[in-house]
Structure 1
């Protein structure tokens, strides 16, 4: 089994999204390459790589100070 992580794909669903989007054909290529290589996960774009790298850090970095309770 291979997990696929991506931020936003350049599809009709994300047409109104104002940010970087990855080409669906590139997502498929990366996914198939990962499956064939036996990788447990594929990180398809810079945003997902950033989020994955940040998981080991302090989770408060993801929250805006104005949203803090207290």
Structure 2
């Protein structure tokens, strides 16, 4: 699979960076919805801080490591 995703031909038609952008956006959206529903009385600034903390690389790395996804 890795070879298929990294061949020169594939690089011309396929961008992992574009998928990463989409994935990051979906993750932020899902976390935002979850926080919005979980904390209905919190101010948007507080929700934004909670979201930033939840989707930062350090948090995602810790979660992946504890769940043995890495």
- Name the TM-score, length of structure 2 as normaliser: 0.31
Which is strand-richer, 1 or 2? Answer: 1
Query: Which structure has the bigger radius of gyration?
Result: 2
- Name the TM-score, length of structure 1 as normaliser: 0.31
Which is helix-richer, 1 or 2? Answer: 2
Higher relative contact order (CA 8 A, sep 6+): 1
